[in-house]
Amino acid sequence: MLSAPTGLCGCYKRIFSFGDSIIDTGNFANGNLMEFPFGMTYFKRPTGRVCDGRVIVDFYDAKRQVLSESLIVLGEIGGNDYNYWFGATKPREQAAQFIPDIMATIGSSIQELIGMGAKTNVIPNNFPIGCVPKYLSDFRSGNRADYDEHGCLRWFNDFSQRHNHELRGVVGRLSAQNPGVKLIYADYYGAAMEFVRDPHRFGIGNPLTACCGGDEQPYHTNKWCDKTSKIWGDPRSFASWDGTHMTEKAYEVIAQGVLNGPFANPPLLRSC
């Protein structure tokens, strides 16, 4: 499915992926994630992924060939920590005080993996959370200046970019300290903004609306996605699956940008 010459990424026998529900491939095996409509697009059955089909790491795995080394995908990390402070009863500005702690945790995790022998590590940055339907619904504003030209919340995207700027510095510092180890900074933010800026290029309708959820307009986020929820159309024409997690289509676009470039340096398919 991914357009790349064969043989470019044939050096990874295993993939170890650390993160949260954005990249989890099955640990949500209990509860309503094992019911329709989860998994409807690709697997045709629930698999424990918080998605209609595959997630980003599945697309990385599709280009793995059985040769020698292991690929480590670390994150994205920090999103759920920030989410705690983005709750309705907490001042969102306080989330910024945790950026240094999160950077220190990411840095020490990378260094620990390197100490265990990891040679190729992908470190993704944070998504443009100001374009996430759940945020758009919970923090909707009557002030047009709070939104950018795409309808995303400026404050939250600025916060993501602040996190990403600090993370790039961590990756650069650790790269200099560990010659012979590949640390690949994956720009999930930039890759996701591709379908926010030009959704029709990817066959996506409104990238700011959830495919599975309730009837609240325009974001459909007033109900958790489950077997009683409304499916607003073909998931392949949406970027958001349930208002928080993305669709397989969106994850594929992001994975393409990391595998083939320009949203990773070097592109993952040329990192061997």
Domains of the chain: which residue ranges?
12-198+244-270
What pLDDT score was predicted for residue 144?
96
Query: Do residues 188 and 239 make contact, with C-beta atoms less than 8 angstroms apart?
Result: no
Q: Is the pLDDT of residue 250 over 90?
A: yes
137 as an active site residue: the answer is: no
Least confident of 7-16, 70-79, 165-174: 7-16
pLDDT of residue 24: 56
| Predicted confidence (pLDDT) at residue 261 exceeds the cutoff of 90 | yes
Separation of alpha carbons 112 and 62, rounded Å: 27
Helix (H) or strand (E) segment spanning residue 156: helix 154-177
Place of tokens 């997630």: 55
How many whole angstroms separate alpha carbon 182 and alpha carbon 145?
Answer: 41
Which one has a higher pLDDT value, 81 or 165? 165
Q: Cis (ω within 30 of 0) for the bond into 37? A: yes
AA letter at 62: A
Instruction: Let me know if 205 is exposed, middle or buried by CB neighbors in 10 A (0-12, 13-18, 19+).
Output: middle
Tokens matching residue 77 = 């990390």
Q: Which residues pair with 246 in a beta bridge?
A: 240
Using CA atoms, how far residue 44 sits from 34, 39, 52, 107, 197, in Å, is 12, 6, 9, 38, 30
Name the nearest CA neighbour of 245 among 222, 221, 268, 261: 221
Specify the higher pLDDT residue, 120 or 193: 193
Among 16-30, 86-100, 102-116, the range scoring the smallest mean pLDDT is 16-30
Nearest CA-CA partner of 255 in 64, 58, 77: 58
For residue 4, pLDDT over 80 is answered with: no
12-198+244-270: CATH topology: Rossmann fold (3.40.50)
The predicted pLDDT at position 220 comes to: 96
Catalytic residue status for 163: no
Dump pLDDT digits (tens) for 143-180: 999 999 999 999 999 999 999 999 999 999 999 999 98
* Pairing mode, strands 69-74 and 12-18: parallel
Per the confidence metrics, is the pTM higher than 0.85?
no
Report yes or no: 64 and 71 within 8 Å, Cβ to Cβ: yes
Q: Share the mean pLDDT of the chain.
A: 83
Q: pLDDT digits over 110-136, tens only?
A: 898 888 787 888 899 999 999 999 999
Point out the catalytic residue in the list 137, 229, 245, 271: 245
Beta strand 182-186 with 264-265: parallel, antiparallel or unpaired? antiparallel
* Strand ranges for the chain from DSSP E: 12-18, 69-74, 120-124, 182-186, 212-213, 230-231, 264-265
Mean pLDDT computed over 21-45: 64
Q: Give me the DSSP letters along 39-52.
A: TTTTTSS--S-SSS
List 24, 52, 58, 242, catalytic entry: 242
Residue 5, pLDDT > 70, answer no
DSSP run (H or E) holding 272: none
Give Cβ neighbours of residue 98 (< 8 Å, ≥ 6 apart).
81, 82, 85
21 has catalytic annotation: yes
- Secondary structure class of 213 (helix, strand, coil): strand
Q: Is the pLDDT of residue 218 over 50?
A: yes
